[in-house]
Structure 1
Amino acid sequence: MDPLSLIETKPGAYSLILHAGSTPVDEVIEELGHEPNGYFWEGVAQLVVRSDAPHLEGRFRYDPEGSMFCAYGADRAALEELATHLASVATDAVRARLIVTNAEAQGFEFDD
């Protein structure tokens, strides 16, 4: 799950957190013309849910900020699965580059 963390904010409520600017792929993201902030990572999350895990759609909500990506909800299993998908992008420069370039080729606009 690294570099993400899943915390229980109150009984039955969970938040998945990624501190923006702290991933091994930040440099690649910047090379591609993006800022690796929380809003950028929300775009990545939307893309991986859409392409790799559509069964996760609607099972949590997003609440990013400039310095942090956050997804939250009551479905811990869904957030854990999202963490696995995001970690595979946040730790693999080749995968990060591929996600961004494919998304842009399809007209997706990151909100960074």
Structure 2
Amino acid sequence: MTIKLHDFDGEHSLTLDVGGLAADVAVAGAGHEPNGYFWEGLVRFAWPDIAEPLDFDGEAGMFCAVGTPSDLAQLKTALESVIASPDEVLDIITRAEISGFEFDD
């Protein structure tokens, strides 16, 4: 699984290695770069209630969120439902663009 939960000295994080995901084709086809910054934007748009209490520390090759174990578990469940579904990711991108949301990828 490309989504991993970590606990390092009491700091909890979730990482997602980007690139090579089934959803990458949809992301690139919509004119975006399938990197950690894109996924941060997707999370902020698609699940604002989940994103609100989290801190993000992504980069080009990895998405990273820092928060409580329960918040990260919710995020993991949400992400698992879309990373393997190009159609679902494309739907989120379309809704985001219609609403005026800008991805920072």
TM-score norm. by structure 1 comes to: 0.86
Q: CA deviation at 1:88?
A: 1.2
Q: CA deviation at 1:15?
A: 1.1
In 1, are the aligned partners of 2:3 and 2:14 still within 8 Å (CA)? yes
Q: CA deviation at 1:94?
A: 1.2
Secondary structure of the 1:89 match is coil
Q: Aligned match of 2:55 in 53, 61, 67?
A: 61
Say if 2:103 is the partner of 1:105.
no
Question: Could you tell me how far apart the structure 1 residues matched to 2:88 and 2:51 are?
Answer: 21
Q: 1:36 to 1:61 in 2, by over 3 A?
A: same
Partner of 1:77: 70
Question: Could you tell me how far apart the structure 1 residues matched to 2:90 and 2:51 are?
Answer: 23
Question: Could you tell me how far apart the structure 1 residues matched to 2:61 and 2:51 are?
Answer: 24
1:1-112 matches, within 5 Å, as 2-11=1-10, 13-50=11-48, 54=49, 56-73=50-67, 75-112=68-105
Q: CA deviation at 1:105?
A: 0.8
Question: Could you tell me how far apart the structure 2 residues matched to 1:108 and 1:58 are?
Answer: 16
> How many aligned positions are there?
105
In 2, are the aligned partners of 1:29 and 1:96 still within 8 Å (CA)? yes
Segments of 5+ residues of structure 1 without an aligned counterpart are none
Q: CA deviation at 1:57?
A: 4.6
Segments of 5+ residues of structure 2 without an aligned counterpart are none
